């Protein structure tokens, strides 16, 4: 199983990266092949709205650091997107990637019952926010999940933590255990462990 992780936070050792890396480590220990991209270290542009991907081209025609990322996601079984909440949304780093996923949609995606160029995949969304009120910013996951379902991510999972700021002290152990559980569920190790 191939898992691609996209880290949307500029804080390499921050909350969302820590949760994503815990998921990765558990999945890797169960035999998954992991590739991780820290988006903040890459150089790329947002979608230019050129519509080349809807007018004869199957891929995004921009050639920058996201070219490899988009190709890797296309090859993956599971995509993990990790982001802190910035002004009620994902970070600009991750939004830049999201807009470029428009190239995964076929030219006739609005009417085609099978609109995506991608094979079916699973999604893990990691979202952390400073505000402790979990009713705030709860719209982020369902909003993007709807678009990602269109792209072929039929099964999706959310790991979300509220009330965690710049200090890492507040990151609850329960969240890291949830990340372990989800990795076992997706890679299949949970069943193996139960079998023993």
Ligand X SMILES: Cc1cc2nc3c(=O)[nH]c(=O)nc-3n(C[C@H](O)[C@H](O)[C@H](O)COP(=O)(O)O)c2cc1C
Q: What residues line the site for ligand X (CB under 6 A)?
A: 9, 11, 14-17, 84-88, 128-131, 137, 164-166
Q: Pick between residue 5 and residue 16 the one whose CB is nearest to ligand X.
A: 16
Find the shortest distance in angstroms from Cβ 92 to ligand X.
9
Find the shortest distance in angstroms from Cβ 142 to ligand X.
17
How far is C-alpha 166 from the chain's CA centre? 21
Q: Pick between residue 11 and residue 149 the one whose CB is nearest to ligand X.
A: 11
> From CA 110, how far away is CA 13, in angstroms rounded?
40
Q: Pick between residue 63 and residue 135 the one whose CB is nearest to ligand X.
A: 135
Q: Pick between residue 26 and residue 128 the one whose CB is nearest to ligand X.
A: 128
Find the shortest distance in angstroms from Cβ 71 to ligand X.
26
Find the shortest distance in angstroms from Cβ 128 to ligand X.
4
47 Cβ contact list (under 8 Å, min separation 6): 60, 99, 100, 102, 103
């Amino acid at each position: 199983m191939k898992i691609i992780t996209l880290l949307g936070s500029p804080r390499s050792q921050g909350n969302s990266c820590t949760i994503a890396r815990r998921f990765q480590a558990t999945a890797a220990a169960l035999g998954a092949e992991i590739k991780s991209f820290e988006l903040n270290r890459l150089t790329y542009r947002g979608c230019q709205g050129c519509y080349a991907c809807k007018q004869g081209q199957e891929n995004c025609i921009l050639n920058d650091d996201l070219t490899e990322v988009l190709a890797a996601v296309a090859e993956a079984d599971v995509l993990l997107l990790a982001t802190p909440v910035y002004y009620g949304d994902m970070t600009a780093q991750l939004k830049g990637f999201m807009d470029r996923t428009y190239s995964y949609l076929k030219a006739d995606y609005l009417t085609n019952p099978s609109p995506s160029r991608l094979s079916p995949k699973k999604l893990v969304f990691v979202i952390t926010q400073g505000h402790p009120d979990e009713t705030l910013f709860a719209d982020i996951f369902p909003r993007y999940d709807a678009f990602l379902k269109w792209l072929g991510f039929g099964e999706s999972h959310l790991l979300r933590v509220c009330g965690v700021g710049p200090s890492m002290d507040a990151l609850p152990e329960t969240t890291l255990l949830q990340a372990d559980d989800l990795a076992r569920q997706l890679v299949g190790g949970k069943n193996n462990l139960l079998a023993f």
